[in-house]
């Protein structure tokens, strides 16, 4: 029995020893594997460092070589640029020289053409002189054979032809002299009339700016939901421009009478302060009536200033409307009065009807 226990103990001990040794071998293998992994990582890191260092060194070497190359070729490139500039300058000089040569060739060609024309003309004149000489020689031969009466008759006929030619030349010269004298006299009359006239210059405009006491007034002009400004524009036929301009609104219209009616009406509305659709209609109607009266008054003043009579009322109204119209930076009514005075001065110088000239000058812009 003891022997059996001994065998069992020996077997157990052998098994324990086997497993212990196996565990030790396994631990030793794991440790070796970890060391191998660490060595591998270290080798990879070292290889990466070596590659990075080699790359940096290669870049530095490339930069150094490029810098040395640039330094070594800088003078050559500068010299090459200088040569290129000199060549361009030389080409430009050659082009200029070629242009000069071409110009001289053209001048020589033109001179040759003129000389050829002169030679041709001279040759023609020589031939004509020879023809005249031959004709005169033939005429002398013929006259030598004429009787005294025949020679006298032929001479009188020739003299009459020469006199007709001279008379025509004299008439043409007289007409030219009269024309020049007439032009000088007309210029003298016009300059004299212009020197006696003086006029003011005004600037054409299609807008009118209305000053406001404050920007709050812009809202009152517009009205609730824009009713006031819509009624105002419909009644006057203008456009009211309200923008960021401080304390001001602008009236825009190409028709000057409507623009003036709108300007007066808006100024009165701003001064009164009561702005609503009904009030707008009333003020615009009153402004339109005042402008109509002002138009009649302006037309009558222009007629009275020029001392004209028997001018129809519709014509006076049309004339007065010119007060609000501008053309080429000048008030048309002032321009018409100026033209009337100008034409009167010219008519007086030329002994024409001064009264009729005034009417023509005053009414010449009506209907434009």
What SS3 state is found at 209?
strand
Looking at residue 66, what is its pLDDT? 74
Q: What is the dihedral of CA 139, 141, 144, 148, to 10 degrees?
A: -30
Query: pLDDT tens digit string along 182-228?
Result: 556 555 545 454 444 444 444 446 778 888 888 888 888 888 888 98
**Strand ranges for 44-202 from DSSP E:** none
Looking at residue 293, what is its pLDDT? 93
How do 330-331 and 326-327 pair as beta strands? antiparallel
- Rounded to two decimals, what is the model's pTM? 0.46
Chain-centroid distance, C-alpha 163? 63
Give, in order, the Cα–Cα distances in Å from 70 to each of 64, 80, 81, 83, 283.
Answer: 10, 14, 15, 19, 87
Give, in order, the Cα–Cα distances in Å from 111 to each of 117, 118, 160, 204, 238.
Answer: 10, 10, 45, 57, 71
Q: What are phi and psi of 309, to 5 degrees?
A: -120, 165
Looking at residue 285, what is its pLDDT? 93
Query: pLDDT tens digit string along 85-104?
Result: 877 777 777 777 777 777 77
Looking at residue 304, what is its pLDDT? 92
Pick from 228, 289, 241, 220: which is nearest to 261 by CA?
289
Looking at residue 139, what is its pLDDT? 63
d(CA 86, CA 63): 33
Residues in the chain where the model's pLDDT stays below 70: 1-7, 9-15, 17-20, 23, 25, 27-29, 31-33, 35-36, 69-70, 72-73, 75-76, 132-133, 135-171, 173-205, 368
- The answer to whether 228 touches 277, Cβ cutoff 8 Å, is yes
- The answer to whether 258 touches 208, Cβ cutoff 8 Å, is no
């Amino acid at each position: 029995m003891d022997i059996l226990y001994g065998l069992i103990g020996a077997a157990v001990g052998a098994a324990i020893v086997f497993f212990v040794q196996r565990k030790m071998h396994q631990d030793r293998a794991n440790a070796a594997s970890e060391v191998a992994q660490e060595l591998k990582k270290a080798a990879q890191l070292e290889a990466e460092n070596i590659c990075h260092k080699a790359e940096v060194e290669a870049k530095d070497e490339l930069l150094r070589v490029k810098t040395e190359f640039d330094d070594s070729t800088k003078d050559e490139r500068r010299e090459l640029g200088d040569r290129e500039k000199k060549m361009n300058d030389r080409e430009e000089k050659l082009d200029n020289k070629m242009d000069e040569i071409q110009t001289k060739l053209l001048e020589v060609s033109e001179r040759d053409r003129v000389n050829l024309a002169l030679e041709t003309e001279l040759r023609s004149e020589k031939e004509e002189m020879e023809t005249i000489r031959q004709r005169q020689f033939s005429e002398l031969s013929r006259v030598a054979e004429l009787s005294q009466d025949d020679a006298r008759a032929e001479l009188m006929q020739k003299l009459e032809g020469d006199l007709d030619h001279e008379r025509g030349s004299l008439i043409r010269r007289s007409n030219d002299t009269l024309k020049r004298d007439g032009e000088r006299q007309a210029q003298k009359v016009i300059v004299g009339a212009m020197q006696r006239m003086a006029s003011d210059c005004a600037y054409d405009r299609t807008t009118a700016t209305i000053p406001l006491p404050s920007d709050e007034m812009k809202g009152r002009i517009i009205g609730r939901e824009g009713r006031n400004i819509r009624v105002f524009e419909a009644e006057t036929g203008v456009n009211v421009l309200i923008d960021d301009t401080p304390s001001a609104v602008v009236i825009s219209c190409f028709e000057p009478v409507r623009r003036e009616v709108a300007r007066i009406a808006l100024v009165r509305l701003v001064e009164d302060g009561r702005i609503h659709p009904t009030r707008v209609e009333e003020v615009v109607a009153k402004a339109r009536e005042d402008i109509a009266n002002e138009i009649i008054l302006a037309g009558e003043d222009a007629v009275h200033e020029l001392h004209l009579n028997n001018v129809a009322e519709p014509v006076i109204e049309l004339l007065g409307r010119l007060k609000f119209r501008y053309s080429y930076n000048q008030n048309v009514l002032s321009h018409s009065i100026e033209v009337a005075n100008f034409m009167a001065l010219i008519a007086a110088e030329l002994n024409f009807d001064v009264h009729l000239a005034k009417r023509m000058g005053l009414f010449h812009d009506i209907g434009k």
